[in-house]
Amino acid sequence: MALRSYSDVPNRVVRLFLEQAGRQYDQNRGLPLFGSMPTSLLSRFGNSCAYCGDAAALVAEHVVPINRTAVGLHAWGNIVPACEPCNKVKAGNPWEGHPRLDGPRRSAIAAYIAEYRYKPDVTELRIVVEKLYELADTQTRALIDFGLVASRPHIAGLHTPPPTDLVTPRRELDQVVAGPTDSATR
Ligand SMILES: [Zn+2]
């Protein structure tokens, strides 16, 4: 996996939290565990993409994105089948503005959200999400720092000693700092 940035970890923690919170939300509403794309949901959208109607390979798409900004949940009423291109186009944007959405499909998504009463308290959730992000960010940095300190002797061992021509001027510098030696004063 390519090294990207420290923020990958807190973002991932936020996503995992929103997945778990979604399960809790479903449970509280007396709904079955979402799991992988249920056949009932697929047939509700005619076994096709909820945004464009294509029957291509479908993925689970979060109507309200499950990220720090939008604070969507992985829960009934917030997951629709979508083709990969529509999923990519949508990314983190609001679903209502999806360029491939027509009137009937817009109504179908709205009816689905309403039927499952998907309306979590986003304001309160956002406070938790922000705190989680901040904690995960601090902890991540502390862990990496710990690793760097703990591995310092081992990382040093991987390197060959610096070439002598780099060491010599350093010795001269030390002499300058320490002042003239006995032999130099005589
Ligand atoms: Zn599509």
What is the DSSP code string of the chain? -----TTHHHHHHHHHHHHHHHHHHHHHTTPPP--S--HHHHHHTTTS-TTT---SSEEEEESS-SSTTT---SSTTSEEEEEHHHHHHHTTS-GGG-TT--HHHHHHHHHHHHHTT----HHHHHHHHHHHHHHHHHHHHHHHHHHHHHHHHHHHHTSPPPPHHHHHHHHHHHHHHH---HHHH-
What was the pLDDT predicted at 185? 43
pLDDT(106) > 90 = yes
Residue 101 corresponds to which tokens in the numbers above? Answer: 């959405």
Instruction: Specify the residue for token string 């979508």.
Output: 82
Exposed, middle or buried, 67 (CB in 10 Å: 0-12/13-18/19+)?
middle
Centre of ligand 1 to C-alpha 28, Å, is 31
- pLDDT range class, residue 121, cuts 50, 70, 90: very high
pTM of the model: 0.78
* C-alpha distance from residue 115 to each of 90, 107, 112, 156, 171 (Å): 23, 12, 5, 62, 78
Single-letter amino acid code for the residue at 118:
Y
Centre of ligand 1 to C-alpha 104, Å, is 14
Which residues are near ligand 1, the ion (C-beta closer than 5 Å)? 49, 51-52, 54, 83, 86
Single-letter amino acid code for the residue at 103:
G
CA-to-CA distance for 133 and 11, rounded, in angstroms? 7
Exposed, middle or buried, 90 (CB in 10 Å: 0-12/13-18/19+)?
buried
Question: 50-93, pLDDT tens digit by residue?
Answer: 999 999 899 999 999 999 999 999 999 999 999 999 999 998 88
Question: 170-185, pLDDT tens digit by residue?
Answer: 555 555 555 555 544 4
What was the pLDDT predicted at 178? 56
Centre of ligand 1 to C-alpha 97, Å, is 14
Centre of ligand 1 to C-alpha 143, Å, is 41
Centre of ligand 1 to C-alpha 9, Å, is 30
